[in-house]
Amino acid sequence: CVLSKIIPAIYSIILGFCAKNLPVFTSTSCLLRPILGLIYLMSLPCFNLSPGSRPRDCGDLYASGQREDGIYSVFPIHHPAGFQVYCDMTTDGGGWTVIQRREDGSVNFFRGWESYREGFGKITGEHWLGLKQIHALSIQGNYELRIDLEDFENSTAYAQYGTFGVGLFSVDPDDDGYPLTVGDYSGNAGDSLLKHNGMKFTTKDRDNDHSENNCASFYHGAWWYRNCHTSNLNGQYLRGQHTSYADGIEWSSWTGWQYSLKFSEMKIRPTRDPENK
């Protein structure tokens, strides 16, 4: 059952909202959002995926024997109409559903809330899958996130997170700002996402950050900004070193705040048993 897979994540969600690096909450308010979200999840129908059912994500497709990278249709449990995604079936054991890609600057990522909610770009190229779709995927169970990066000198790095979700415990994720849950870092790019854990998504026309300014407008992007960022993967495509500050495709723990990356790809898959990876 989907709910039985999500409940173990409660502990990490609560830690995300109550961690020392977040603003101080009372013990009641700190727990309120995950508790309300859990009540909402318990009100949803309980499903099991039977053999022959439509794939919920690229992980299901991989499990069914698909091994080719490319476009597939997926049907998350609470998004039965389905949508198209790009599946990475080769990186680190495959089964990844791509949720973001930057590679050539051909798509404008400095957009408003509606565009980020619904998604934009071309699935085979630069695109943002959409907060609605990412939420529909990550609410199905425990997911991990992998971020692959490349600079203009063709050096590569990655960051992987064993815990990932968007709006996991939101009764109304759009109204709640699609808050990010992320943790359990590994990789060689450094952790430039921890600061953003627990934050709502901000765009140039919807300010959900903790800064006096709108971080999305100030840094020409859209992200789970706090005050303001240590990563900005939806920033401007500035092609390497730039004189402006932190407004490119930045992953500060790897290349600092004044180097815009050549390539970034964010992708998620259901968390696997380490012994069956």
Joined together, the tokens standing for residue 139 give 């609410």
Q: Is the pLDDT of residue 62 over 50?
A: yes
Output 233 or 272, whichever has higher pLDDT.
233
At 273 the pLDDT is 74
Region for 95 from its dihedrals, namely left if φ exceeds 0, alpha if ψ lies in -120 to 50, beta otherwise: left
Q: Which helix (H) or strand (E) holds 118?
A: helix 113-118
Tell me how crowded residue 11 is: count the other CB atoms within 10 A of its CB: 11
- 161-204, pLDDT tens digit by residue? 999 999 999 999 999 999 999 999 999 999 999 999 999 999 99
Q: Is the pLDDT of residue 28 over 70?
A: no
CA distance 244 to 33: 37
Q: What is the band of 105 on the pLDDT scale with cuts at 50, 70, 90?
A: very high
240, 260 contact by CB (below 8 A): yes
186, 205 contact by CB (below 8 A): no
Q: In order of start, what are the domains of the chain with their CATH numbers?
A: 58-198+261-270 (3.90.215.10)
What number is the average pLDDT over the span 3-10? Answer: 47
- 217-227, pLDDT tens digit by residue? 999 999 999 99
Look over the chain and give the mean of its residue pLDDT values, rounded to a whole number.
Answer: 88
Q: What is the band of 30 on the pLDDT scale with cuts at 50, 70, 90?
A: low
CA distance 109 to 115: 9
What percent of the chain is modeled with pLDDT above 90?
Answer: 78
Q: What is the DSSP string of 141-167?
A: S-EEEEEEEE-TTS-EEEEEEEEEEES
18, 173 contact by CB (below 8 A): no
At 38 the pLDDT is 55
Closest CA to 101 of 265, 267, 268, 269: 265
Pairing mode, if any, of strands 96-102 and 120-121?
Answer: unpaired
